Amino acid sequence: MTARSRFVDAEPAPLPVSNNIVVRTLSDQVFEIVRERIVTGSLPDDAAIRQDALATELGVSKIPVREALGRLEQEGFLTSQANRGYSVRPMSAEQADEIYALRLLIEPAAAGRGALDATERDRAEAVAAFQALDEAANTNLAEVAVRNRHFHVALVRPGGRLLTTQLVERLSILAERYVISHLEPAGRDARAHLEHRHLIDAWMARDQAVLEKLLHQHIEATLWDLRAQFAAAGN
């Protein structure tokens, strides 16, 4: 399926009361496509984004492209300069520190609370998310990163704390490039699998104290590994 047909198939019928609904939908789709390219590395660090070329490729006007790129800058994926447009924001030790420090502050306690509040449906969804992550272990790392996000969000979603869930999800999205980089060295995927298994076991047992400790260690260990990788690369 071409990029053009993806938009044609997914675009809802225009509503006469507001054309902005269609534009906003296209902007969301452009956002997802460009974000995926950044996360998977098909748009490398510092790559320039040409709005006119992107609009032509995707078969849309420049308006949804401009809106999507603005959102990607706000989310921390792009940077912009006057008269030079947008470019992919390079991964950095500083950004990794910020993302993972925030996750350490929010996520362990949120997951602990989620374990206590979870309904049977929540518990089934968390197990399904773990199984999906487990099944992706030997596939491409981009898919693993996405399923890793779904798993972590499933642990904090119960209880209806929407803002907390949104914060964890946004941080997990920003972390996806770093997850891929972290899992590239041999043996990291096996360690991550074991850690995730311990997490879901503690969560299902509603063992809040153990879960929070394990999740803190899991996030912190990833951050330490990333710091070492950046240091070895001279960043």
Task: State pLDDT tens for residues 57-114.
Answer: 999 999 999 999 999 998 889 999 877 889 999 999 999 999 999 999 999 999 999 9
Say which residue, 152 or 24, is predicted with more confidence.
Answer: 152
The number of distinct structural domains making up the chain is: 2
What confidence score (pLDDT) does residue 24 get? 56
Q: Do both 49 and 161 map to the same domain?
A: no
- Of 72, 88, 104, which one is at a domain's C-terminal end? 88
Burial status of residue 145 (CB atoms within 10 A of its CB: 0-12, 13-18, 19 or more): buried
Q: Do both 129 and 193 map to the same domain?
A: yes
What is the CATH classification number for the domain harbouring 17? Answer: 1.10.10.10
pLDDT at 1 over 90: no
The whole-angstrom separation of Cα 182 and Cα 100 is 13
The whole-angstrom separation of Cα 226 and Cα 206 is 30
Q: What is the pTM for the complete model shown? A: 0.80
Q: Do both 72 and 155 map to the same domain?
A: no
Between strands 78-81 and 48-49, the pairing is unpaired
Q: Do both 107 and 77 map to the same domain?
A: no
- Of 30, 56, 88, which one is at a domain's C-terminal end? 88
What confidence score (pLDDT) does residue 21 get? 43
- How does pLDDT run across 22-46, given as a tens digit for each residue? 445 788 899 989 988 888 888 888 8
pLDDT at 229 over 70: yes
Q: Do both 84 and 104 map to the same domain?
A: no
Q: What are phi and psi of 16, to 5 degrees?
A: -65, -20
- How does pLDDT run across 37-73, given as a tens digit for each residue? 888 888 888 889 999 999 999 999 999 999 999 999 9
Q: Do both 29 and 144 map to the same domain?
A: no
pLDDT at 9 over 80: no
Structural domain including 10 reads 3-88
What is the CATH classification number for the domain harbouring 116? Answer: 1.20.120.530
pLDDT at 149 over 90: yes
pLDDT at 137 over 80: no
Q: Do both 115 and 58 map to the same domain?
A: no
Q: Do both 35 and 136 map to the same domain?
A: no
Q: Do both 164 and 219 map to the same domain?
A: yes
What confidence score (pLDDT) does residue 7 get? 42
pLDDT at 188 over 90: no
